[in-house]
Amino acid sequence: MSETDGPGPDAVQTLRWVGDIDGHLKLIDQTLLPRECREVACRDVETVWEAIRSLRVRGAPAIGIAAAYGVCLGMQDGSEESPERFFARLHQVREFLAGSRPTAVNLFTALNRMQGRAAELRAVRGPPEIRQALWEEARAIHEEDRAMCRAIGRQGAHLLGDGMGVLTHCNAGGLATSEYGTALALIYAAHEQGTRLHVFVDETRPLLQGARLTAWELAQHHIPSTLICDSMAAQVMREGRIQAVVTGADRIAANGDTANKIGTYGLAVLAHAHGIPFYVAAPSTTFDLELEHGDQIPIEQRGAAEVTEVLGQAVAPDGIEVYNPAFDVTPSRYIRAMITERGVLFPVNESRIRAVVG
Ligand code: MRU
């Protein structure tokens, strides 16, 4: 597949490293989907930063993987440096990538892991070997995510029964991870086991990850689905079409409060009001046990144009004041269960969370 060719439906790889340690990262440019499935090549850390910032690569686990590879790119010229210069540059690269987006903790988990690996080797290895170890660490982060997503599917598929209508928000599928997804992993795994589901997909304004990405992914997997505007969820629930809501997460505090795409909190309240279980599916890398509760989670604020425009077309008067938080926090009391690669957390509370993912 070239940088301009589109991959076939089953060949889609959200991110892939091309070549050896001196190679580069390729990722599907998600801003172009579903019109075009094209990869963008990242040959330096600045391109990775821009891809994360502009949501060419997005979704908490995928951001973490991209950042790990971003460190490798940032250190590609570092082998000849003195250990002092090498570590100063590593620190700079880490800080630069950490500034790309603030909410998804997977970004910081991956960066800390990369830095930790280098620190571990500092006393006994030189820059060339440490650079090699960093590349291997990034590949391990990528591979581990594949395994975690499959395990989340296995752990949670039984929660979705035959004939259920399932509502999901944003995109927590293969595009948001290495492959297979988190919330969509439950749906894919249940589907593979022969469970018949009908998925309702929230379009997810302002950036339409539901309409552009989730609806596309579900179509690739031939899973029956219906696209709705975000404002339709209450009516669809009231009509009895939804038996479960499943979303992903960007950061989960120790008490279970969960940051996810803006609109998730409202859905959880609606599900509660209609007696519908609300599930969060996420790998252990999305938990931030240093935060006691959700008010401590940093919420990314994005530009006004995302709200005043739809796909580049103005839909609001010039100069209108805009508020555009990219995420909201769902209090843990609205979350029936959490599905992780290590098991299902039920009930959702701090002791259960610390026991399973601590
Ligand atoms: O702004 P985005 O598209 O990166 O937001 C993504 C989400 O909110 C996802 O639901 C979350 O990252 C979980 S991905 C498995």
Helix and strand element counts for the chain (H, E): 12, 16
Do residues 43 and 73 touch, judged by C-beta distance below 8 A?
Answer: yes
Please tell me the distance between residue 322's alpha carbon and the centre of ligand 1 in angstroms.
22
**219 and 292 together in one domain:** yes
Please tell me the distance between residue 336's alpha carbon and the centre of ligand 1 in angstroms.
20
Q: What CATH number is given to the structural domain containing 123? A: 1.20.120.420
Write down the pTM of the prediction. Answer: 0.96
Listed residues 126, 150, 174: the one ending a domain: 150
One-letter amino acid of 196: R
**80 and 192 together in one domain:** no
**137 and 42 together in one domain:** yes
Closest CA to 171 of 44, 58, 296: 58
Predicted local confidence at residue 3, as pLDDT: 39
One-letter amino acid of 290: E
Query: Is residue 168 exposed (0-12), middle (13-18) or buried (19+ Cβ within 10 Å)?
Result: buried
- 104 Cα nearest atom in ligand 1: 12
Low-confidence ranges of the chain (pLDDT < 70): 1-12
51-83 pLDDT, tens digit per residue, is: 999 999 999 999 999 999 999 999 998 778 899
**138 and 165 together in one domain:** no
Would you tell me the crossing angle of helices 83-98 and 105-121 to the nearest 10 degrees?
170
- 209 Cα nearest atom in ligand 1: 3
**192 and 255 together in one domain:** yes
Predicted local confidence at residue 5, as pLDDT: 38
Closest CA to 173 of 256, 277, 278, 247: 247
From residue 24, alpha-carbon distances to 48, 49, 71, 187 in Å are: 10, 14, 11, 32
The best mutation among 55, 247, 260, 330 to test binding of ligand 1, ranked by most ligand atoms within 8 Å of the C-beta, falls on 260
**85 and 164 together in one domain:** no
- 63 Cα nearest atom in ligand 1: 4
**108 and 222 together in one domain:** no
Predicted local confidence at residue 4, as pLDDT: 35
Predicted local confidence at residue 84, as pLDDT: 95
**72 and 184 together in one domain:** no
Tokens of 195: 């469970």
**82 and 164 together in one domain:** no
> Which residues belong to the active site?
250
Predicted local confidence at residue 211, as pLDDT: 98
Predicted local confidence at residue 312, as pLDDT: 87
Please tell me the distance between residue 327's alpha carbon and the centre of ligand 1 in angstroms.
9
Do residues 353 and 295 touch, judged by C-beta distance below 8 A?
Answer: no
Predicted local confidence at residue 12, as pLDDT: 66
Closest CA to 51 of 31, 73, 23: 31
**146 and 165 together in one domain:** no
- Lining ligand 1 with CB less than 6 A are 55, 58-61, 104, 170, 172, 176-177, 181-182, 209, 247-250, 260-261, 326
Domain that holds residue 206: 154-356
**182 and 272 together in one domain:** yes
Listed residues 150, 167, 201: the one ending a domain: 150
CA-nearest residue, atom 6 of ligand 1: 59
Q: What CATH number is given to the structural domain containing 193? A: 3.40.50.10470
Please tell me the distance between residue 299's alpha carbon and the centre of ligand 1 in angstroms.
13
Residues pairing with 281 in the sheet: 339
Predicted local confidence at residue 11, as pLDDT: 55
* Tally of domains within the chain: 2
Please tell me the distance between residue 119's alpha carbon and the centre of ligand 1 in angstroms.
30
Listed residues 150, 169, 202: the one ending a domain: 150
**127 and 174 together in one domain:** no
